[in-house]
């Protein structure tokens, strides 16, 4: 297992290297630059700005400089937010996205698994249709509709919560529900499918024949295998949830990392784009690794190879 993890971690390095290289050159191919604005700067100022950020050097030189500082974990200064570094911006905003993501993930798992398992117990019954319709609605209702709807009801009508901001603990609730709802729906569908598949297997029939109770069959025998699809989905889903959502963070003005993914690209904040992309890529790789380990532990057919 240790060898497996080490090998996977070593494989990460070339992947991140390729991502960094592609992003570095990709973002510079985009028309416009970090210093273009409605009011144009004079050519002298532009030259001075470029000199300050090292953009006057040949591209390959900039690339090697960047890769050099990347090796030391330095993601460089933000071009847009001139008194902050990319490391600082990520360090400040990631905990917000992480917190929001954890709540959303919990909501997704608790509601999703409960609904999915309940639906699979009596397939094609009223309760199944109810759970399935709810999850369908959750998938179809985008966050930019659900978020404002929740605000309208719970903040503007009932005054339970603030309409925006990330200041006291109550401010976490609406964004977490908004972000978690769609994932809960996916989880419910995956759990239902997985459980239905498992419940029709021979070993379940054997268990039933041996006289095991339905509760025991469900929790002791079926659940572990039935939730495998949910676990595989969790890797990318967790990375996505934990690194933040642009839409939800914008609606609720949560100061998370998700907003930087989009604004950094729009601002042509080269270092910030690279920083967020690399950070996200690292997280996805790590989560996939964790998921693979969990899958091997859950599924006896798999081995660390």
Partner 1 sequence: MIRAAAIFVGCALLAGCGVRQTQVAKADKEQILLIGNGTEPQDLDPQVVTGIPEDNILRALFEGLVSEDPHDLHPIPGTAESWDISPDGKVYTFRLREAKWTNGDAVTADDFVQSYKRILSPALASEYNYMLFPVKNAEAFSKGDIKDFGKVGFRALDDRTLQVTLENPTPYFLSLLNHYSWFAVPVRSIVKFGRLDERGTRWTRPGNMVSNGPFRLKTWKTNSIIVVEKNPYYWDKDRVRLNAIKFFPIDNSSSEERAFRSGQLHVTATVPLPKIDIYKKKPEIFRNDTYLGTYFYRINVTKPFLKQKELRQALSLAIDRESIVTNITRAGEKPATCFTPPGTAGYYAKPVLRTDIPAAKALLAKAGYPDGKGLPPIEILYNNDEGHRVIAEALQEMWHKNLGVDVQLNNQEWKVYLDSQLQLAYQICRAGWIGDYVDPNSFLDMWLTGGGNNETGWSNAEYDRLIAEAGRTTDPAARLGVFGKAESILLDEMPILPIYFYTSKYLLSPSVKGWFPTILNQHPYKFVYLQE
* 157 in contact with partner 1 (CB under 8 A): yes
Q: How far is it, in rounded angstroms, from Cα 143 to Cα 251?
A: 9
* Cβ atoms of 35 and 46 closer than 8 Å: yes
CB count within 10 Å of CB 203 equals 12
* 100 touches partner 1 by CB under 8 A: no
- Is residue 92 within 8 A of residue 229, CB to CB? The reply is no
Cβ proximity to partner 1, 77 vs 226, nearer residue: 77
Build a one-symbol-per-residue string for 3-32: x at contacts with partner 1 by CB under 8 A, - elsewhere: ---------------------------xxx
Mark the segment that binds partner 1 (CB under 8 A) among 4-12, 56-64, 134-142, 150-158: 150-158
Three-state DSSP class for residue 17:
helix
Q: Which helix (H) or strand (E) holds 221?
A: none
Reduce the DSSP state of residue 186 to 3 states and report it: helix
Stretch that binds partner 1, among 10-18, 157-165, 215-223, 230-238 (CB under 8 A): 157-165
* Nearest distance, CB of residue 23 and partner 1, angstroms: 17
Say if residues 204 and 217 touch (Cβ distance below 8 Å). yes
Evaluate whether 272 touches 261 at the Cβ level (below 8 Å): no
Say whether residue 303 binds partner 1 (CB under 8 A). no
169 binds partner 1 (CB under 8 A): no
Which residues contact partner 1 by CB under 8 A?
30-33, 36-45, 48-49, 51-52, 77, 80-84, 89, 92-93, 148, 151-152, 155-160, 162-167, 250-253, 255-256, 259, 263, 266-268
């Amino acid at each position: 297992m240790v060898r497996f993890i080490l090998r996977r971690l070593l494989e990460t390095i070339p992947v991140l290297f390729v991502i960094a290289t592609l992003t570095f050159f990709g973002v510079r191919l985009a028309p416009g630059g970090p210093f273009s604005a409605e009011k144009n700067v004079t050519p002298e100022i532009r030259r001075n700005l470029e000199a300050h950020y090292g953009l006057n050097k040949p591209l390959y030189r900039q690339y090697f400089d960047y890769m050099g500082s990347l090796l030391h974990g330095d993601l460089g200064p933000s071009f847009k937010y001139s008194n902050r570094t990319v490391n600082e911006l990520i360090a400040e905003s990631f905990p917000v996205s992480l917190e929001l993501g954890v709540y959303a993930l919990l909501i997704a798992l608790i509601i999703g698994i409960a609904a999915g398992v309940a639906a699979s117990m009596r397939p094609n019954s009223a309760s199944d249709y109810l759970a399935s319709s709810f999850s369908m609605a959750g998938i179809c209702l985008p966050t930019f509709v659900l978020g404002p709807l929740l605000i309208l009801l719970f903040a503007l009508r009932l005054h339970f919560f603030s309409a925006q901001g990330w200041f006291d603990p109550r401010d976490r609730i609406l964004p977490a529900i908004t972000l978690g709802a769609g994932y809960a729906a996916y989880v419910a569908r995956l759990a239902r499918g997985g459980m239905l598949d498992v419940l029709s297997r021979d070993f379940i029939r054997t268990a039933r024949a041996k006289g095991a109770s339905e509760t025991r069959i469900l929790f002791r025998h079926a659940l572990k295998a039935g939730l495998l699809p949910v676990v595989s989905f969790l890797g990318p889903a967790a990375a996505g949830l934990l690194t933040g959502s642009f839409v939800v963070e914008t609606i609720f003005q949560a100061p998370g990392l998700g907003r930087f993914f989009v604004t950094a690209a729009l601002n042509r904040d080269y270092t910030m784009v690279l920083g967020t992309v690399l950070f996200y890529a690292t997280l996805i790789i790590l989560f996939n690794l964790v998921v693979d380990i969990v899958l091997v532990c859950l599924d006896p057919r798999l081995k660390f190879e």
